């Protein structure tokens, strides 16, 4: 697990590039917010999380298949990740922030990803221009 990187992953860099091309400026990994979001647009009170399908339990995704060896360890570890994500999302909502979760597997479909980002930013566009 030491080779698992939490910052500047390929999906994260790819999504950052698209958000920047859309004309938005942002900060990355703001530790003051619950969950340490990957992309923070403070002006719009919006954050984006880029989740790995395996580590965050993406439902119905082939990448989120749990290991069959040492099952109890992985069940506990991955279930804690999912519960932590839910708790942090509730905290963000309570603070008035909107969030978007982009799954690792969604990066493969660029047109769908762009549409998802456009929908997320649709109400921000009014403020942005």
| Model pLDDT for residues 51-86, shown as the tens digit of each residue | 999 999 999 899 989 999 999 999 999 999 999 999
Rounded CA separation 47/36 (Å)? 9
Residue 113 belongs to some domain of the structure: yes
Residue 60 belongs to some domain of the structure: yes
Collapsed DSSP state (helix, strand, coil) of residue 103 = strand
In the block, tokens 């530790």 appear at 31
Q: What burial class does residue 2 get, using C-beta atoms within 10 Å of its C-beta: 0-12 exposed, 13-18 middle, 19+ buried?
A: exposed
Residue 1 belongs to some domain of the structure: no
The predicted model scores a pTM of 0.88
The pLDDT, as a whole number, for residue 124 is: 56
Residue 129 belongs to some domain of the structure: no
Residue 14 belongs to domain spanning: 10-123
The pLDDT, as a whole number, for residue 3 is: 53
Number of domains in the chain: 1
CATH code for the domain in which residue 119 is found = 3.40.960.10
Residue 128 belongs to some domain of the structure: no
- DSSP letter at 27 equals B
Rounded CA separation 26/43 (Å)? 9
8 A C-beta contact, residue 39 and residue 28: yes
Arithmetic mean of pLDDT, 29-37 = 90
Residue 2 belongs to some domain of the structure: no
For the chain, the first-to-last Cα distance in angstroms comes to: 43
State pLDDT tens for residues 6-24: 677 888 999 999 999 999 9
Residue 5 belongs to some domain of the structure: no
Structural Rg of the chain based on CA atoms: 15
- Measure the CA angle with vertex 115, ends 21 and 9; round to 5°: 60
Rounded CA separation 94/129 (Å)? 27
Residue 4 belongs to some domain of the structure: no
Q: Which residues pair with 39 in a beta bridge?
A: 48
């Amino acid at each position: 697990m030491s080779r698992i990187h939490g910052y500047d992953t390929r999906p994260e860099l790819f999504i950052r590039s698209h958000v920047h091309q859309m004309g938005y400026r942002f900060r990355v990994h703001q530790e003051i917010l619950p969950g340490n979001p990957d992309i923070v647009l403070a002006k719009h009170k919006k954050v984006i999380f880029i989740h790995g399908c395996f580590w965050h339990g993406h439902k119905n995704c082939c990448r989120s298949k749990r290991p069959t060896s040492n099952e109890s360890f992985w069940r506990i570890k991955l279930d804690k990740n999912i519960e932590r994500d839910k708790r942090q999302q509730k905290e963000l909502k309570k603070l008035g922030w909107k969030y978007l979760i982009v799954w690792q597997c969604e990066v493969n479909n660029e047109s769908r990803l762009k549409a998802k980002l456009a929908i997320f930013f649709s109400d921000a566009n009014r403020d942005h221009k």
